[in-house]
Amino acid sequence: MFLYFVPTDDITIATHGIPPALRYAFEGKPLEAGVISGPDGSAGLILANRPHAGRLGYFPTEQTWGPIPGSDCYVGFAAASLPLHPAAPLPVPSPFARANELAGKNVADSLGNLWHIPFAMNYLELGEGLWPVPQLPQRLTLGEGGQWVRGQVMPAYAQLWQLVSDYGQALAEAVIAVQAEDEQRESFVFSFDRLDDLAIAALQVNYRLGPVELDLLGIYDETFRQEVIDTVRGMPLLAALKKKQAPAGGSSSPPAAASTPANLPE
């Protein structure tokens, strides 16, 4: 569905490999075609995932192209191949799905497309509290006694785990600050300047999409973003655990002091 342009004099992408800015978009060897003049006027390679329907090349009268921020690469599509909002939902199954997905929960975007968002965080009962733990693949490391124990999150998911952890830390600090001022306050707004980084990293675990593709698809809005973030933070798992803990006829959780955080000015 999407095409990618890499400015280069190489005759194949195998010479120097897929640029870091595009590695999220490919699994395995891409289809490729050389062009004398691409979206920026220079020579390069047009790449596409397999299978690809339609012509492979640079045809400016048939295609729309946009730069990928922070790189010299471009992403494009043929107008007839992309269901832009509000035309139609995406094909099912998703043409962007990775070969192997991590378990999670389906989240609907503004057009009703379902995206399987992974649970990056789970929660354990320790004493009287619930403590967050990784739900992402982790290394096994050899302990001092010769036993294998869970170690750090695998490198492929380290950035997502860091973002999830940073968000949780920012939220916890905001809760403490608000409760210090007013213990009875049930809701508030707090800011986290990497909301979009977190949501897109969560989507990229199971899908070959980046910010530009999401913009072109026209499906990314604040509601979808927050539901993706809540899911990747394991909020459905936490809610189920609290419901299980709740006494019969009792409340499953305390008042939601920060249940709908948003990136809004204080």
Q: What share of the chain is helix, strand, coil (3-state, %, to 5)?
A: 30, 25, 50
* pLDDT over 60 at 264, yes or no: no
Q: Which of 212, 189, 213, 211 is nearest to 199 (CA)?
A: 211
pLDDT of 208 reads 94
How many angstroms separate the CA atoms of 147 and 144, rounded?
7
Structure tokens at 168: 């949780």
Asked whether residue 99 is domain-assigned, the answer is: no
Domain count for the chain, please give it.
2
Per-residue pLDDT tens for 107-151? 999 888 899 999 999 998 887 778 899 999 999 999 888 899 988
Give the domain range for residue 204.
Answer: 104-245
Which band of pLDDT confidence, cut at 50, 70 and 90, is reported for residue 254?
A: very low
Asked whether residue 254 is domain-assigned, the answer is: no
Higher-confidence position of 249 and 50 = 50
Same domain (yes/no): 56, 14: yes
Same domain (yes/no): 68, 141: no
Under 8 Å between Cβ of 193 and 265: no
Asked whether residue 97 is domain-assigned, the answer is: no
How many angstroms separate the CA atoms of 164 and 232, rounded?
8
- Local structure of residue 115 (DSSP, 8 states): E
Asked whether residue 150 is domain-assigned, the answer is: yes
% the chain with pLDDT above 70: 86
* pLDDT over 50 at 244, yes or no: yes
* pLDDT over 90 at 242, yes or no: no
* pLDDT over 90 at 25, yes or no: yes
Asked whether residue 259 is domain-assigned, the answer is: no
Residue tagged 């070959």 (tokens): 208
Non-local CB neighbours of 103 within 8 Å, separated by 6+ positions: 118, 119
Structure tokens at 181: 């001022």
Same domain (yes/no): 59, 188: no
Asked whether residue 257 is domain-assigned, the answer is: no
Asked if the peptide bond before residue 137 counts as cis, ω within 30 degrees of 0, the response is: no
Per-residue pLDDT tens for 179-203? 777 766 667 778 899 999 999 999 9
Same domain (yes/no): 108, 232: yes
Same domain (yes/no): 234, 162: yes
Per-residue pLDDT tens for 58-110? 999 989 899 999 999 999 988 766 655 445 566 666 889 999 999 999 999 98
pLDDT of 188 reads 72
Asked whether residue 239 is domain-assigned, the answer is: yes
Same domain (yes/no): 113, 217: yes
Same domain (yes/no): 51, 125: no
User: Nearest 5°: phi and psi at 33?
Assistant: -145, 135
Same domain (yes/no): 6, 69: yes
Same domain (yes/no): 213, 130: yes
Question: What average pLDDT does the segment 237-246 reach?
Answer: 85
Same domain (yes/no): 166, 232: yes
Same domain (yes/no): 168, 236: yes
pLDDT of 257 reads 35
207: left (phi over 0), alpha (psi -120 to 50) or beta: beta
Asked whether residue 94 is domain-assigned, the answer is: no
Structure tokens at 78: 């043929």
Same domain (yes/no): 70, 154: no
